[in-house]
Chains A and B, each alone.
Chain A
Amino acid sequence: MTRPRTLYEKIWDAHVVEQRPDGTALIFIDRHLVHEVTSPQAFAGLRATGRTVRRPDLTLAVPDHNVPTTARLDAAGNKLPIADPESAAQLAALERNAPEFGIRYIDAVAPEQGIVHVVGPEQGFSLPGTTIVCGDSHTACHGGIGALAFGIGTSEVEHVLATQTLLLQPSKTMEVRVEGEVGPGVSAKDIILHITGVIGAAGGTGHVIEYTGSAIRALSIEGRLTVSNMAIEGGARAGLIAPDETTFDYIKGRPYAPKGADWNAAIAYWKSLATDPGATYDKVVIIDAADIAPSVTWGTSPEDVVPITGVVPAPDSFADPSKQTAAAKSLAYMGLEPGTRMQDVAIENIFIGSCTNSRIEDLRAAAAVIKGRHKADNVRWAIVVPGSGLVKAQAEAEGLDRIFTDAGLEWREPGCSACLAMNPDKVPAGERCASTSNRNFVGRQGPGARTHLVSPAMAAAAAVTGKLTDVRELMA
Chain B
Amino acid sequence: MTPLDKVEGRAIPFGLKNVDTDVIIPAHWLKTTTREGMGRGAFEAIRKDPENLFDSAEYKGAPILIAGDNFGCGSSREHAAWALGDLGIRVVIAPSYSDIFSGNAVKNGILPVVLPQTAIDRLMEVAATDPVFVDLEHQTVTTQFQDRFTFEIDPFRKMCLLEGLDEISLTEKSDSAIDAYEKQLDADRPWMRPAA
Chain A residues in the interface with B (C-beta under 8 A): 17-18, 22, 26, 28, 30-31, 37, 40-41, 44-45, 49, 51, 54, 57-58, 66, 86-87, 89-90, 93, 124-125, 127, 130, 153-155, 158-159, 162-165, 167, 255-259, 262-263, 265-266, 269, 422
Contacts and interface: CB of A to CB of B under 8 A. Distances in A.
Contacts of A266: 189, 191
Contact of B192 (A30, A155, A167): A30
A125 B168 contact: no
Given A17-B177, A155-B167, A28 B185 contact: yes
B191 A258 contact: yes
13 contacts: A18-B177, A28-B178, A37-B30, A40-B34, A41-B35, A54-B178, A58-B194, A66-B31, A89-B32, A159-B167, A162-B168, A162-B171, A163-B168
Given A28-B185, A162-B168, A269-B189, A17 B174 contact: yes
Contacts of B49: none
B33 A256 contact: no
A442 B34 CA distance: 27
Given A58-B194, A130-B192, A165-B171, A26 B177 contact: yes
**A-B complex: 4 closest residue pairs judged by Cβ atoms:** A262-B191, A40-B33, A258-B191, A86-B31
B14 interface: no
Contacts of B168: 49, 51, 158-159, 162-163
A154 B78 contact: yes
A52 to B, nearest CB: 12
A289 B174 CA distance: 47
Contact of A153 (B35, B78, B177): B78
Contact of B181 (A17, A40, A86): A17
Nearest to A31: B194
B77 to A, nearest CB: 8
A127 B192 CA distance: 8
A163 B178 contact: yes
B122 interface: no
- Residue among B30, B33, B189, B193 with max Cβ neighbours from chain A (10 Å): B33
Interface string B160-196: 0000000110011010011001100100011111110
B33 A90 contact: yes
Interface string B61-81: 000000000000000101000
B110 to A, nearest CB: 13
Nearest to A44: B34
B107 interface: yes
Given A158-B168, A256-B195, A265 B189 contact: yes
B104 interface: yes
Given A18-B177, A255-B195, A153 B76 contact: yes
Contacts of A40: 32-34
A17 B192 CA distance: 16
Nearest to A161: B168
Contacts of B30: 37
A28 B31 contact: no
Contacts of A159: 167-168, 171
Nearest to A422: B31
Contacts of B78: 41, 153-155
B100 to A, nearest CB: 8
A163 B168 CA distance: 7
Nearest to B36: A44
B126 to A, nearest CB: 33
Given A155-B167, A165-B171, A28 B181 contact: yes
A57 B107 CA distance: 27
Nearest to A127: B192
A164 B175 CA distance: 10
A154 B30 CA distance: 11
B178 A165 contact: yes
Contacts of B167: 155, 159, 167
Contacts of B31: 37, 66, 86-87, 89-90, 422
A153 B77 CA distance: 8
Nearest to A39: B33
